[in-house]
Amino acid sequence: MDITILKQTAQALVAPGKGILAADESTKTIAKRLEKIGVESNPEINLAYRKMLFTTPGIEQYLSGVILYDETIRQSIDSASVPQYLAGKGIIPGIKVDKGAWLLPNFPEEKVTEGLDGLRDRLTEYKEIGAKFAKWRAVITIGEEIPTDTCIEANAEVLARYAALCQEQDIVPVVEPEVLMDADNDLERCKEVTTMTLKKVFERLSAHKVVLEGMLLKPNMVISGKKSPTQASSQEVAEATVKTFLEVVPGQVPGIVFLSGGQTPNQATENLAEINKVPGSPWQMSFSYGRALQDEALTTWAGKEENVRAAQQAFLERAKKVGESLAEYARKAIKEQVKKDKKKKVND
């Protein structure tokens, strides 16, 4: 393990004004997305869609990294492997390494993510191909009498083992414990479950000696469930999210890259901007969005070559909206810190 490499990569992934594109949809998921626009999925079509995203002129201004799927990381763009192409644009290539969430035995309403078997060998191969960071997603469902401690503990343990294996290969682990927003729970219930989940995750990360400075956290925002009759405002989401994380996320973690979790592009953009307005966070607050960055471009593209330029423009505009709002608050934070430093020098 080279801690210096891990720290450098983690910090680069949360550079001010930049975030991560989650383009790691599984074969099943990408097929569903393409079906909605009347396109049948296959490796060539999947690559054509992702190539449209990756080759967007200027997108490197707002993307620090891209999470790839196993199929994509082995493909090529313009005679270069996808990781080489991205790296050539200054974008760090990453890889999804989990094998999906499966039913937890004896807990029919809950899931645990699998994929630890053979992970060390897969990470070695992905590193050789060019991956610098990885992602593992765990899902926590809110419902009647769930989540259970068993579900949270099982997912926290595999997240920690995954993270330790990544760091062994100098690959930055993006740790993603997602509390789903599909139920009718209110903001307070989401805060309660998110707190329980993150406490257990960091307990297990510590037990497995994961270097916190060389990882990133990809969590849900503290947000109302989609079916809740009372929907919290962006300001309420931001305040609850930051308050929760200040209670349970260690300051050594260099950055938090939020998932969009089923929010619309506008919701995900606005909520993240409000989160960055809340003072007191020791972490760089950024994004690792999938649908929130892609949906407008996907609809515009519709599988047609003649729509590529318009789709790229839609993609760039959304990334710009998210990235520039982050940069705005990053600049303000830097200015405030400079003022504090000057004042401290005068007082000294």
CATH code of residue 166: 3.20.20.70
Least confident window among 74-78, 185-189, 278-282? 278-282
Q: pTM to 2 decimals? A: 0.92
Q: Write out the residue range of the structural domain in which residue 124 sits.
A: 3-347
Burial state string for 82-121 with b = 16 or more CB within 10 A and e = fewer than 16: bbebbeeeebbbbbbbbbebeebeeeeebbbbebbeebee
pLDDT of 287 higher than 80: yes
Beta strands in the chain (DSSP E): 19-22, 63-68, 76-77, 80-81, 92-96, 101-104, 107-113, 133-140, 172-179, 216-217, 255-258, 284-289
Average model confidence (pLDDT) for the chain?
93
- How confident is the model over 310-335, as pLDDT tens digits? 999 999 999 999 988 776 665 555 45
CB within 8 Å of 281: residues ≥ 6 apart: 242, 245, 246
- How confident is the model over 135-173, as pLDDT tens digits? 999 999 999 999 999 999 999 999 999 999 999 999 999
Cα 125 to Cα 47, 67, 164, 184, 232: the distances in Å are 21, 16, 17, 42, 44
CA distance 75 to 43: 9
CA distance 217 to 272: 15
| Total number of domains in the chain | 1
CA distance 4 to 251: 18
CA distance 325 to 321: 6
pLDDT of 217 higher than 70: yes
- Residue 324: the pLDDT is 81
Overall average pLDDT of the 33-61 stretch: 96
152: nearest Cα among 198, 89, 103: 198
136: nearest Cα among 153, 152, 112: 112
pLDDT band at 261 (very low <50, low <70, confident <90, very high): confident
100: nearest Cα among 78, 124, 70, 145: 70
- Which sequence positions are flagged as catalytic? 176, 218
